[in-house]
């Protein structure tokens, strides 16, 4: 399904370009990371165009982490107010 030929070849060139392009103006990005992740190096999560939020969590635990849910709830609350006035 995803061969290295596709990842490096011309068939995915536009997709790779989209991944490397800056976000559109006004689009918010959030990077939630943990220094104790154990799978992903936390420094790799520090996208320069994103807001950075550090939490204490394992990699797999982020999907059920109360601190992560609180961060996301706060962001969604802020975004909801932005859309509804």
List pLDDT tens digits, range 38-49: 999 999 999 888
The answer to whether residue 12 is domain-embedded is no
Q: Which residues are CB-contacts of 71 (< 8 A; sequence separation ≥ 6)?
A: 30, 32, 53, 55
The answer to whether residue 37 is domain-embedded is yes
How many whole angstroms separate alpha carbon 41 and alpha carbon 11?
A: 29
Query: What pTM value is reported for the model?
Result: 0.70
**Hey, CA dihedral for 66, 72, 75, 80, is it positive or negative?**
negative
| Confidence label for 80 from pLDDT (cuts 50, 70 and 90) | confident
Number of domains in the chain: 1
Reduced to 3 states (helix: H, G, I; strand: E, B; else coil), residue 9 is: coil
Determine what percent of the chain is predicted with pLDDT higher than 70: 89
pLDDT at position 20: 83
The answer to whether residue 21 is domain-embedded is no
How many whole angstroms separate alpha carbon 33 and alpha carbon 42?
A: 6
Asked whether the beta carbons of 28 and 51 are under 8 A apart, the reply is: yes
The answer to whether residue 32 is domain-embedded is yes
The answer to whether residue 67 is domain-embedded is yes
The answer to whether residue 41 is domain-embedded is yes
Domain of residue 65 covers: 28-85
Reduced to 3 states (helix: H, G, I; strand: E, B; else coil), residue 10 is: helix
């Amino acid at each position: 399904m995803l061969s290295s030929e596709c990842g490096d070849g011309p068939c995915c060139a536009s997709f790779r370009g989209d991944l490397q392009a800056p976000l559109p103006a006004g689009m918010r990005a959030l990077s939630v990371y943990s220094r104790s992740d154990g799978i992903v190096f936390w420094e790799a999560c520090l996208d320069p165009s994103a807001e950075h939020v550090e939490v204490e969590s394992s990699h797999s635990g982020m999907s059920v982490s109360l601190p992560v849910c609180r961060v996301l709830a706060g962001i969604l609350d802020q975004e909801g107010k932005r859309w509804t006035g």
